[in-house]
Amino acid sequence: MGCRSSKPFEDTTDEIRIAVVGRTGSGISQFIHDATGSYKHGVSNQTALRPFTTEITPILADIKGFSPSVKVVLIDTPGFDFTRGNSEHDKFSQLAKWVKHRYGSKARLDGVIYIHNIWTEELLNRPPLLTSDALEYICGPNWREKVVFVSSHWNERVRDDGNEREVLLKENYWSFMLAKGSQMTRYEEPERPEKAVEILRLLVGGLSNQKKELR
């Protein structure tokens, strides 16, 4: 993928940092729990009414199937909530500030996993994601190649089978991102560690080698 062959990271840490973002309740913390096998306390109770994750939290994890030399940090984030006026852009800005504050001004994020509950309709009515100064600032100019859009909650099928919703997202909200190298996949139900790791692999791929070469 382009992001691995282009300009090296200014940040020479061998840690691979991936932020997980999305709307509250979409399954951000659940995904981190499933990928890491820990962090159960970070996942909200299904019946919780309020946002459960209120702080940006890095989780250093041994990912099953990854070499022990690959250090992955998954960054849990409070969800955005369009109805309360805090959009994805506000949250991306907070994330960018947090990354620079925590890891230093030259620090980079290696990837962003954007989780979306397939049954919530709001993204279908929102303007497509085209730009993000904040993500560009922390992921670099080819930031779009480092973003994976992951639809979740497929197992909560209500009316239709969800396929049409996915197509609409592909053709609208996410189309520009896909054209510029972002990826899109499903996380069909929680407690699927293998699938969660497969999604991480979409981002990690050859990245660990690139990081080592820089040392």
Ligand X SMILES: Nc1nc2c(ncn2[C@@H]2O[C@H](COP(=O)(O)OP(=O)(O)O)[C@@H](O)[C@H]2O)c(=O)[nH]1
CB closer to Mg ion, 9 vs 187: 187
Q: Residue with CB nearest ligand X?
A: 27
Stretch that binds Mg ion, among 27-35, 97-105, 106-114, 163-171 (CB under 5 A): 27-35
Q: Is 108 helix (H, G, I), strand (E, B) or coil?
A: coil
Q: Does 29 bind Mg ion (CB under 5 A)?
A: yes
Q: What is the spatial distance between Cα 183 and Cα 118, in angstroms, rounded to a whole number?
A: 16
Q: Does 36 bind Mg ion (CB under 5 A)?
A: no
- Alpha helices of 57-120 — where are they, by DSSP H? 88-103
How near is the Cβ of 27 to Mg ion at its closest, in Å? 8
Q: Nearest CA to 82 among 73, 74, 91?
A: 91
How near is the Cβ of 69 to ligand X at its closest, in Å? 29
Q: Does 53 bind Mg ion (CB under 5 A)?
A: yes
Residue 46 touches which of Mg ion, ligand X, none (CB < 5 to 8 A by kind)? Answer: ligand X
How near is the Cβ of 50 to Mg ion at its closest, in Å? 11
Residue 69 touches which of Mg ion, ligand X, none (CB < 5 to 8 A by kind)? Answer: none
CB closer to Mg ion, 28 vs 109: 28
Q: Name the region of 27 (left: φ>0; alpha: ψ -120 to 50; beta: rest).
A: left
CB closer to ligand X, 15 vs 189: 189
Beta-carbon contacts of 126 under 8 Å, excluding residues fewer than 6 positions away, are 82, 173
Q: What is the spatial distance between Cα 77 and Cα 70, in angstroms, rounded to a whole number?
A: 22
CB closer to ligand X, 86 vs 142: 86
Q: Nearest CA to 101 among 58, 53, 142?
A: 58
How near is the Cβ of 26 to ligand X at its closest, in Å? 4
Q: Which residues bind ligand X (CB under 6 A)?
A: 22, 24-30, 43-46, 52-53, 79, 152-153, 155-156, 189-190
Q: What is the spatial distance between Cα 130 and Cα 66, in angstroms, rounded to a whole number?
A: 32
Q: How many residues bind Mg ion (CB under 5 A)?
A: 3
How near is the Cβ of 54 to ligand X at its closest, in Å? 10
Q: What is the spatial distance between Cα 96 and Cα 212, in angstroms, rounded to a whole number?
A: 24
Residue 13 touches which of Mg ion, ligand X, none (CB < 5 to 8 A by kind)? Answer: none
Burial class (CB in 10 A: 0-12, 13-18, 19+), 6: exposed
Token pair in block for residue 188: 């069909």
Q: Which residues bind Mg ion (CB under 5 A)?
A: 28-29, 53
